[in-house]
Amino acid sequence: MLGIWRLQLLREVARRGTIRAAAEAMSITPSGVSQQLRILEAEAGVALLEPDGRGVRLTEAGLVLVRHAGAITEAMDAAEAELASLRREVGGTLTIAAFPTAARAILPGVIAQLGHAHPRLRLLLRDLETDESLAALRLDEVDLAVVDEYDEATAIHEPGVELIPLMDDPLFLVIPGEPELATEPVALASLAGEAWIMDTEASSIYGAVRRACLRDGFEPGVRSHCRDYSVIIALVEAGLGVAVVPGLALRDRQVRARLAPIEGDPARRVSVAVRPGRRTHPAVATTLAAILPTV
């Protein structure tokens, strides 16, 4: 009979690419992983791995087993959720990933609320960008992930992940000047000649803003790339350029510059990502119920 633990090890090797990475994820030694996989090959009666340069790759039989291991993991998730529902209290450890502005603006209150309501529930927060959160969710490193999408180019298409809509987060222009919130939308094209303060080139918002500027007929002249919205806003306040920031970055923050909605009312979609098999787990369901009414 095939050992479930050893199937999980094979699945981790397939997902992470190396025995060493799988060993780190499963908190055992690489030699321990190799030993267990040799036992699994003996149980299966076929070779599951073959050399590939300095590493290994799965054989056809190994890939078959990994597909079944995924179904087994989903069944184990369902069993764990059903067992947890029999307990009188919501408890255990649950890990949430969130992009930085959501981690700052939404989750501290949620975690504090749940800590008071369910003292046996331990919540951990990981500050991750959306692509990192989805990878962590895919690798079972987090239970929930707050993720964002700006446009079709950043739309999430992740097999085995359910997206639960949370909010539309409007985008705003931050422009040097006296602090005020303008009511009239401003066209991006009207700022074509300005210096731009933008997020890093690898970020989703940089790509989305640049694509929007190109649609309006100009390439933004970027003066600075900054990962932290506090720095971006500070540079605009100093008169060094203009910026586009999401609404969550402005929540509970005083800005000494002009804020204006953008023509066309662009917004990013914010969702909570979860594996469907985990959604009914009491800790996951309780945390989802606490997150959804916060916006």
In the chain the domains, ranked by start, together with CATH numbers, are 4-85 (1.10.10.10), 92-167+270-294 (3.40.190.10), 170-264 (3.40.190.10)
- Cα separation, 2 vs 5, in Å, equals 9
Tens digit of pLDDT for each residue in 58-91?
A: 888 888 887 777 676 666 666 666 565 556 667 7
Beta-strand runs (E) in the chain: 49-52, 55-58, 92-98, 121-127, 144-149, 162-175, 180-181, 195-198, 221-225, 243-246, 258-261, 267-274
Answer yes or no: is pLDDT of 173 > 80.
yes
Give tens-digit pLDDT for 176-231: 999 988 889 999 999 999 999 999 999 999 999 999 999 999 999 999 999 999 99
Distances (CA, A) of 52 to 17, 55, 181, 198, 209: 11, 5, 59, 42, 42
What phi, psi does 186 have (nearest 5°)?
-115, 135
The per-residue pLDDT for range 123-169, each reduced to its tens digit, is 999 999 998 898 888 777 899 999 999 999 999 988 778 999 999 99
Average confidence (pLDDT) over 12-41: 80
Between the CA of residue 252 and those of 4, 23, 35, 98, 260, what are the distances in Å? 49, 43, 54, 18, 17
DSSP 8-state code for residue 186: B
How large a percentage of the chain has pLDDT more than 70? 91
Query: Do the beta carbons of residue 2 and residue 42 sit within 8 Å?
Result: no
Amino acid identity, residue 197?
Answer: I
- Within 8 A by CB and 6+ apart from 3, the residues are 36, 39, 40, 43
Residue 190 Rama label (left phi>0; alpha psi -120 to 50; beta): alpha
Between 249 and 47, the more confident residue is 249
Note the residue count of the chain: 295
Q: Considering the entire predicted model, what is its pTM? A: 0.75
- SS3 for 245? strand
Confidence of residue 279 (pLDDT cuts 50, 70, 90): confident
DSSP state of 153: G
Count of CB atoms situated within 10 Å of the CB of 238: 12
DSSP class per residue in 247-291: HHHHTT---SSEEEEBTT--EEEEEEEE-GGGTTSHHHHHHHHHH
Given this model, what pLDDT does residue 133 score? 92
Query: Which pLDDT score is estimated for 75?
Result: 65
